[in-house]
Structures are given as C-alpha cells and as structure tokens.
Amino acid sequence: MNVRASTPRNAADEVPAGSLHRARLLVTTIARGSRRGSLLTELVARTGLPRPTIHRVLDMLIDMGWVERDPLTLRFNLGRDLAALGYSAISRQPIERAAATELSALAEELDQVVFLNIRSGLDSVCIGRYDSRSPVQVGRGDVGLRTAFGVTQSCLAMMSRLPEDEVWEVVRINLSRFHRVERYDETRHRAAIEFALTHGYSAFDGMVLDRSTSGMGVPICDAGGYPVAGIGTTFISAWLDDAGRAACRARLEAAATRVAQRLFGLPGAGAD
C-alpha cells in the first residue's frame, strides 16, 4: 500500500500558545536532531517559530540546564540536567525493569546486541540496549536515542500489531524524516512494513543500515494485543541462514512472551 506524503506543515502550527508548549517543541526538536546538536537555523526551519521566540525560550532552557550550547560549533543539544531526569524516568519504567534481565540473557544467547524501544507519538525511544560479549557489536543506537517511529526493527515490530491505517498514516507524516536517514530506501522500507503487517514481526535486509546487515524484531503486547514495546536485534546477514533466522525469531518471541508475563501476567503473550 502506498501513501503519498502531504504538504508538510510547520510544527508550530500544531502547538498551543505559551512558553511551556514552545519549550516542549524545542526540546523535542533538538532530541530528534543530530547527536552533534542543532543549529539555530535548523530549529527555525523545523519548528516554524520566530527567531526571537526561539532565542527567548532557549535562554530559559539553558538557565534550567535542560539545553546546552557548544561554544565552538554553536549547536544546541539537550543538557545534563535533562539527561539526569531522563535516566531517572527510564529507571522507573516498568517495561525496562521487567525486561532487563531477560534481554541481557537474550543478548548473550544470540551473541548479538538487543534493543528495547517504546513509542512516543511519532517517535521511537530506545529504553534499553543489551550488549553481548561478542567482539563484533552490530547495531546503532544507545539508551535515550529518539528517532522517527517506523524505521528500526523494534519500530516495525510494534507496527506489525497496529491497525494498518494507523501505520500508513504514521508513514505519511514521518516520511520526510525517514528520508533524512542515511541510505534510506523508501521502496524497501514499504516492503518491510508490508511484511511486518502480514507476518506479525519484522525482518529486513540492509534497509537503512549497511547493506551487509539484517534486522529482526518482535512486539511485546498487552492483554488486548496492543504493542507496548518492541524488541529488536541486528546482525551480519551472512551470519544466519534461514534456519538460523527462524531460531533467532523463536528466541526473540520467547523473550517477549516472558517479559509480557512479568508485566501483565499473560500466559502466552507475544507468541503467534
């Protein structure tokens, strides 16, 4: 199913008036930007807010310790005080607490990095990264990384259990953000989404990563079948044949089932 992108609107058009809402918009825009930080011109373009307003709100956020500005590059990034609040929130996140031991063991079992992501509106937030002891760690992203919802293996796993019209609406809205991802391939992306919607889990080869890598993900679902999180892993494509991929999927789904059991007391959540 193909959905054409509509004419983009300024983010400011959808934000209520007031300093609090503008502060939230700027913090979210910075979080969605490059890890090197965002230039003032980028914040103007992506938020639609006037420069004087951005200056005023950024000054307030800098005073609060929620935003910092690099004196050399002049780029704005999230501040240490906000990072501390974020880590505090993650430590209280029941999904991460329920999943940490299980996914750490899964990473060792697979000998691959395992990621745990949740959805936040049009974004995906990594709340857990679990490394194996393998000297080769495949996969980008650390705890706290915020990306457009829909491009990672964990995102596609969550999409696999969402209503199809909701999935394609997210794709329509986020399409311009997807195209900013290095080596993004829209045709292959749409095919990967179709696969996820059909099969209930995600699997793709070289979609937005290096063309020699593959990804796989499964959802963690509540009692109603709604995806509350996604578990994903990436690996060198040549490492796993069809049988190896089937075994990887089975282990991911078994882990998702056990995490859901801890969260919701479900006897077989996450399994097909």
Q: For residue 5, what pLDDT band results from cuts at 50, 70 and 90?
A: very low
pLDDT-wise least confident of 34-38, 62-66, 116-120: 34-38
Q: For residue 28, what pLDDT band results from cuts at 50, 70 and 90?
A: confident
Token pair of 13 as six digits: 């058009």
| Better pLDDT: 238 or 267 | 238
Q: For residue 92, what pLDDT band results from cuts at 50, 70 and 90?
A: low
Cα angle 80-85-86, degrees, rounded to a multiple of 5:
95
CATH 3.40.50.300 fits 93-264, yes or no: no
Locate the domains of the chain by residue range: 11-85, 93-264
| Better pLDDT: 86 or 193 | 193
Question: Distances from the Cα of 64 to the Cαs of 23, 67, 75, in angstroms?
Answer: 11, 8, 17
* Domain covering 11-85: architecture: Orthogonal Bundle (1.10)
Question: Distances from the Cα of 157 to the Cαs of 100, 172, 196, 208, in angstroms?
Answer: 19, 18, 7, 16
pLDDT in tens, 129-185: 999 887 766 767 788 888 899 989 999 999 999 999 999 999 999 999 898 887 888
**Residues above pLDDT 90, as percent of the chain:** 46
What is the pLDDT averaged over residues 182-200? 92
pTM over 0.95? The answer is no
Distance CA 11, CA 37 (A): 19
Q: For residue 7, what pLDDT band results from cuts at 50, 70 and 90?
A: very low
pLDDT-wise least confident of 9-18, 80-89, 96-105: 9-18
